[in-house]
Amino acid sequence: MKTALCLAVLLGALARSARADDADKPPPYRPGFKRMMVVVLENADYKKAVQQPFLKKLMRRGATLTNYHAIAHPSQPNYVALVAGDTMGVTGDGRQDIGLYERELGDLFEAAGSTWTAYAEGWPGKCFRKERSGRYARKHEPFISFLDIQTVPMRCARIKDASELDKDIASGDLPQFALYTPNMDDDGHDTGVAFADRWLAKRFGPLLDDPRFMKGMLLVVTFDEDSGTRGNHILTVLVGDSVKPGAKSGHRYDHYSLLRTIEDAFGLGTLHRHDDEAEHIDGIWRNQ
């Protein structure tokens, strides 16, 4: 009897201690934005990207991650890593069909009752699975490679031609998360980073001053990979009211860090892959 009583007292003390520890913990990570859009450009070294005029403008207006790295070469594994927390065995740019029960970022948003969209320039629609259509390249649109999206019309309808973005802004139907992938010219893949910078200025420059787009928005501009070096050092810039203008972070981040930032900011949980061990992006937010 005394043993049972002692055990109850001990358990009670441990419970009170746990509650006290919880009370001392900092509040959940919430950097202050309500929507997020990630724009992915192609194949540019950090040193070359920071020389581009519009990207310089974004760096002044937003925050720059000066020690951000891609995951792999060539392109496609990086796109998959960004939405899945792992390259999922993808090593090249050819057609990939990733297992039916393999979860990705869209699953987390849907489970949380939140909205996501992939805006892809030149997207043909109707769960299109071929590798190319005009200037659209499947290797740059990662969601369609997951069987649980490509085989479910209602889910692959979340992938839209990028021209739909303006309609969604006008109607107030922006999702909470969006991945924007330009075509093979606009992303710089076939044209170079200077061309991509001019496209970015034309496409997103006006939106920076449009409150219908920017209110509560975090706009992230990154690159899939560099020109092929071992370091894979790329530029990533974050712009929005939640970011300190002109802030810089030299902490080492990568695509898994960006995924973890999305997961933590929207309270989604993780995919239990490399995102589990990744740090979310920190030190650049106004509320810090």
Nearest to 234 by CA among 37, 44, 41: 44
Q: Are strands 136-137 and 132-133 parallel, antiparallel or unpaired?
A: antiparallel
Q: Which residue has the tokens 């859009």?
A: 37
| Residue of 190, 224, 241, 282 with catalytic role | 190
Nearest to 162 by CA among 143, 136, 197, 129: 136
d(CA 77, CA 280): 20
Q: Which residue has the tokens 């043909």?
A: 124
Q: Is 210 a catalytic residue?
A: no
Nearby residues of 106 by Cβ (< 8 Å), 6 or more positions away = 83, 116, 143, 146, 149, 155, 158
Residue 78 CA: distances (Å) to CA of 75, 82, 215: 6, 6, 29
d(CA 103, CA 125): 22
Catalytic residues: 190
